[in-house]
Structures are given as structure tokens and as C-alpha cells.
Amino acid sequence: MEKLNTRRETIKNLALGGLMLPFSKELKNTNSNLKGNINHSVCHWCYRTIPLEDFAIAIKKIGINAIDLVDVKQFSILKKHDIHCSMVSNSSQEWGITKGWNKIEHHEKLIAWYKYLIDETAKAGYKSIICFSGNRDEEIDDEQGLDNCAEGLSKLIPYAEKKNITIVMELLNSKIDHKGYMCDNTDWGVELCRMIDSENFKLLFDIYHMQIMEGDIIRTINENKAFIGHYHTGGVPGRAEIDETQELNYPAIMRAIIETGFKGYVGQEFIPKKTDKIDSLKKAVELCDV
């Protein structure tokens, strides 16, 4: 990697080319009513009142064949209903959004935990696991956190490569929902990808979160497509239905994603306000199925 004047300058001035991500054709949704240009998935946590097994049955009727952020202990439910896990949860009470890879003292235990997740994910035939940067505090700034994340994850990624698993760090907003979260802008996440320099480390570009932090969604996607391994949706403001009540034009965003050559999953992660939650999900999939 070419030596840069300062990391801070790099974060401000990133420019990159576009590469297609190596996702397999088997990820395609199978419902004949869907166009097949977008691989649809959904986060179950947004529908917590619906048991996972009932949820799996309901989403197949819509044409969704994948669920994001499933615990390894729930894989058997997905297998029973022939549902793919499009993003495995880190499923840990100790490690999560606020406590992650940006502190050196976490690395030894994190590496051990993620090796377990990688093994279980590979055995199940799934491909992606979520991870988080952790929060800022008085002892660590963004530049040091970036170095620490790169150091720790670079020790893990060779194991992920061996098992054909992709580790995906989520971009979250620190303005409203996750105060202090470090990986809260695309440039920071992209620089981390460049430092790690592996096709087995990507970003989860959460459109809801990045609209709050940055806006300029379509241009950002186009310029950073080589580093994005997954997408999440959500209505802005409020993270509710992605309909006419919010500010984002999701059909236009989906068309932009398709034009980049993206072959991974777009996961619905809005929290339904309407009584018929499954109907809200169905309408969101139809809106995004361009």
C-alpha cells in the first residue's frame, strides 16, 4: 500500500475504482414474481413479535429467501425452511456495537470468538459475518482506532479467507442511534478496507445510517462500490417504512446499486409502524425490486 502523508488526509480524500464482488449465482431469490435484479433479505430483529420459524414461513411467501443477523444457534430453523443466512450475527453479549475492534485489549478474545463464528458459519454453508468498530472514548481518536481495527482484523482475515468467509463491518450513525460509534462514515470504513486489503473484508453500507451522517447516497455508493459487501434499508427520518412518508428515493438507490454490478444482498432493516408488519415488508420488497 502506497505510503500516505497522513491518515487523516487519506480519510478526507479517498478515491477508488469499482470492482465486482465475487458473490455466487445461488443467492438469487426464487419467487417468479420478483425480477431477480436485487437479492432481497430481511433483518428478523425488526419483527421480534413474530417467532423466527413463523417469520421464515411468511417471508418465503413474499419471495425472500434470506434473513440477516441470525444467531448461530438458530441456523437449524433456517435450514428447516430452506432459508439462507445472508449475514450472521456476532451473537455475543460481550462484543457488539460499542465494544469492538478499535481497542487492542479486545483483540485476543475477539479473534477467538470470531474464529468460532467463522467455523460455525462455514459448516452451515453461509458466507458473511457482521462486525463492529466499537465506540470512541477519551483515550482513542479515529486515527488510532483505525490502526487498531486494522491490526486486529488483519490477524483474523487469513482465517476467514481459508474458510471462504467475509467479515463485514457495519457503517452506523453516531448522530442519533449509536452515539460515539467510530465507523460512522464511509471514508473511515473504506480506508480500513484498504489497509486490510482483502476481498474477505467489506463494509455493510446501511443506507438509513449513512443518509443521516452523510447524505449523497448514490454518489457515495458509486465511488465506493468495490468495498461494499452488503446493504441495509430504513426510512429516514424515524427508521420506519420506506414509503412516501420518508425522504429517500429507494427505487433510484436500488437502480444505482444494480448498475454497480453488485451481486450480494440488500436487507430490509426498517422497523414497521403499521399493524400488518408483513404487509409493510412485502411493499418494501416490491418498492426495491426494480
Contact 208, 243 (CB under 8 A): no
Tell the residue number behind the cell numbers 490502526, with chain if given: 147
Band of the pLDDT at 27, cuts 50, 70, 90? very low
Given phi > 0 = left and psi -120 to 50 = alpha, else beta, which region is 202? beta
Task: Calculate the alpha carbon distances from 242 to 186, 234, 280, 286 in Å.
Answer: 22, 6, 9, 11
Average pLDDT over residues 103-116: 97
pLDDT value at residue 138: 85
Name the percent of the chain lying above pLDDT 70: 89
Q: In the chain, what are the domains?
A: 37-288 (3.20.20.150)
* Nearest Cα to Cα of residue 217 among 242, 194, 186: 186
Instruction: State the pTM of this model.
Output: 0.88
Average pLDDT over residues 22-29: 39
- Taking residue 125's Cβ as centre, other Cβ atoms within 10 Å add up to 11
Q: Does residue 227 have a pLDDT over 90?
A: yes
Average pLDDT over residues 168-173: 98
- Cell digits of residue 207: 443506507
Q: Does residue 11 have a pLDDT over 80?
A: no
Give the angle subtended at the CA of 163 by the CAs of 23 and 53, to the nearest 5°.
Answer: 70
Q: Does residue 1 have a pLDDT over 90?
A: no
Q: Does residue 20 have a pLDDT over 50?
A: no
Give the angle subtended at the CA of 91 by the CAs of 66 and 141, to the nearest 5°.
Answer: 110
Q: Does a cis peptide bond (omega within 30 degrees of 0) precede residue 272?
A: no
pLDDT tens-place string over residues 174-221: 999 999 999 999 999 999 999 999 999 999 999 999 999 999 999 999
Q: Does residue 19 have a pLDDT over 70?
A: no
Q: Determine the Cα–Cα distance for residues 250 and 139; give it in Å rounded to an integer.
A: 39
Band of the pLDDT at 32, cuts 50, 70, 90? low
Contact 140, 98 (CB under 8 A): no
Q: Determine the Cα–Cα distance for residues 220 and 257; give it in Å rounded to an integer.
A: 11
pLDDT tens-place string over residues 62-102: 999 999 999 999 999 999 999 999 999 997 777 889 999 99
Please give the distance of CA 7 from its chain centroid, rounded to a whole number. Answer: 24
What is the residue-averaged pLDDT of the chain? 90
Task: Calculate the alpha carbon distances from 184 to 135, 189, 191, 215 in Å.
Answer: 10, 8, 13, 12
